[in-house]
């Protein structure tokens, strides 16, 4: 593993708070979810409400090991909002929903353990 890699073997190089602050991580509520038919890897299409000032943004998430579309609707999730949109098949993914790998490397999504206002920025 090269210096700066983030695998389970080590940490990435130190960054400043200003570097961290550039990443716009916010909380939103999944308001709609559908199976992503035609995706190369199993995924779910998500529509996430980040509150009135940001609105609803779309994401493609490879979370099918632990979640179904019905099980994520209403759930609050953390997502990166300031990555450029990414075309995934015929779907434009606008945000990156965040998660951690389980013991098998499958995604477990993260979010607050209490309800918080949509659009709140991580700090």
Task: Give the confidence band of 6 by pLDDT, cuts at 50, 70, 90.
Answer: very low
Q: Is the confidence at residue 4, as pLDDT, over 60?
A: no
Predicted confidence band of residue 38 (pLDDT cuts 50, 70, 90): confident
Q: What is the pLDDT of residue 10?
A: 85
Give the Cα separation of 4 and 28 in Å (integer): 30
Are the CB atoms for 80 and 27 separated by under 8 Å? no
CATH 2.40.50.140 fits 24-109, yes or no: yes
Q: What pTM was computed for the model?
A: 0.89
């Amino acid at each position: 593993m090269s210096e700066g890699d983030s695998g389970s073997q080590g940490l990435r190089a130190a960054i400043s708070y200003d570097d961290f602050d550039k990443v716009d991580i916010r909380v939103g509520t999944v308001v709609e979810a559908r199976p992503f038919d035609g995706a190369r890897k199993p995924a779910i299409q998500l529509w996430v409400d980040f509150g009135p000032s940001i609105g609803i943004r779309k994401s493609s998430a490879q979370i099918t090991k632990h979640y179904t579309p019905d099980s994520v609707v209403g759930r609050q999730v953390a997502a990166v909002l300031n990555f450029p949109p990414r075309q995934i098949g015929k779907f434009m993914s606008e945000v990156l929903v965040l998660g951690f790998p389980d013991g098998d490397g499958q995604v477990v999504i993260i979010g607050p353990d209490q309800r918080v206002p949509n659009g709140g920025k991580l700090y």
